[in-house]
Amino acid sequence: MDATRLIDLLGDVAAVATPDEATGDAPRLLERLADDLGAAACQLDTVVTHPDDPASPSFQTVASVGYSPDVAGHLCAELAPSPHGRRVLEASTGLRIDEDDPYDFRGTELYRDVLHPAGYADGISLALRDSGDHLAGLLHLSARRTSDFAPDLGTALPPLGRAFARVARVATWSTPDVTLPAEYAAVRLDAAGRATPVVGRAPLHAALDDELRGIVRSILGTGTRFANFLHQQEGRLVEVRVLCPSGRATEHQPCTVATRPATSTLGLTLRQLEVLTAVATGAGNREIADELCLSQRTVAAHVEAILTRLDSPSRAGAAAKATASGVLLPSADPSSVRSLARVLRRPVA
């Protein structure tokens, strides 16, 4: 692979800036990579960013070129957990199956039963790591013959691997300008409310039921681009983020919904969070008492306890702190005193 072609490919890979570009351009970029390096097939897998066992990461395929669906599926699901896969993940450079085969990969079931019958005699797998040395994904290349690979494969692959690590990372972003922390699961909702998985993200920690969808729609209707809140479902408390790139005030627009297990309630009970959410909408004690079926005296006691816990001199200050921390516990009912839309339309100070 001559220097000019390498620079051109690196430039095209670096130009990928959004999730749609990452998933849409990846097949074309992999075809160029395979052609330049003499591979018959090439595949980019991204690490799932919220695996159940961080020590045993799982992967999802961003793009695969040349492999049959069966071979692509085996590479994505079966290589990493295997002893050879663990060597790949631990290595700073790619591990190659060549005629010497120092790791006896040709004796494994993956090669014997999957890759060899598919006609591949040589291959290399590379663990992709970002600038912080965090695992971003895996890159696989396979050749029909050992002589097919470019002679300079060993020197060309490392810089390409670093570039494709970025593609794998971009594919897992939620919007062009917001990167979700790794522990968040995520789905994208289209304008009709249909959910599609986000590459490299685990399934949501809460079902997209009518209650949660109602809260999301109310947020979109305010025109805000970002909202963070708590949601309780089947006894489980999760943190929810809603990311909307357009910022238009309409309930029917694409957005990303992300979740993780709740990490903080600022020391407040669930009832206190409900009261605080109502406080953030500007509701008075009587309104709060009527909705939550409490006495006004009980509501006043909750408010006093909330102010003490949050070390805040005022209801507005406590509401601002809770809103910034993402611990409000809203209702999907737009007429509720716990409607998050009422909070977003009424800036707290």
- What's the predicted TM-score (pTM) here? 0.61
Sign of the torsion formed by the C-alpha atoms of 78, 83, 86 and 88: negative
Reported confidence tier of residue 249, pLDDT bands at 50, 70, 90 = confident
**pLDDT exceeds cutoff 70 at 2:** no
DSSP bridge partners of 41: 142
Distance CA 101, CA 114 (A): 17
The 10 Å Cβ neighbour count of residue 324 is 10
d(CA 146, CA 38): 10
> Residue 18: is it exposed, middle or buried by C-beta count within 10 angstroms (0-12/13-18/19+)?
middle
- Smallest CA-to-CA distance from 141 within 4, 17, 43 is with 43
What number does CATH give the domain 185-345?
1.10.10.10
Which residue from 292, 227, 218 is spatially nearest to 259, judged by alpha carbons?
A: 227
pLDDT band for position 346 (50/70/90)?
low
Mean pLDDT for 174-180 is: 50
DSSP bridge pairs for 339: 331
Tokens 């052609």: give the residue. 35
What is the mean pLDDT of the segment spanning 304-315?
93
CA-to-CA distance for 87 and 95, rounded, in angstroms?
A: 8
CATH 3.30.450.40 domain range(s) in the chain: 3-171
Residues 181-191: pLDDT tens digits?
778 888 888 88
pLDDT higher than 90, residue 136: no
Of the ranges 13-27, 217-231, 262-276, which one carries the lowest mean pLDDT score?
13-27
CATH for 3-171, options being 1.20.1440.80, 3.30.2130.30, 2.40.160.210, 3.30.450.40: 3.30.450.40
Residues near 267 by beta carbon (within 8 Å), at least 6 away in sequence: 309
Distance CA 320, CA 327 (A): 11
Residue 52 is predicted with a pLDDT of: 46
Q: Is the pLDDT of residue 8 over 90?
A: no
Question: Please, what is the Cα angle at 216 between 215 and 222, to 5 degrees?
Answer: 95
Q: Cα–Cα distance between 265 and 193 in angstroms, integer?
A: 29
Report the pLDDT value the prediction gives residue 176, as an integer from 0 to 100.
40
Contact at 8 Å (CB) between 312 and 318? yes
Q: Report the length, in residues, of the chain.
A: 349
Please write the tens of the pLDDT for every residue from 271-290.
999 999 999 999 999 999 99
* Average pLDDT, integer, range 124-151: 90
pLDDT at 296 over 90: yes
Sign, Cα dihedral of 241, 243, 249, 252:
negative
Task: Assess whether pLDDT exceeds 80 at residue 300.
Answer: yes
In the chain, the amino acid numbered 66 is G
d(CA 304, CA 284): 14
d(CA 130, CA 168): 9
Which residue spans of the chain are classified as CATH 1.10.10.10?
185-345
Cβ count within 10 A of residue 67: 23
Closest CA to 26 of 127, 125, 165: 165
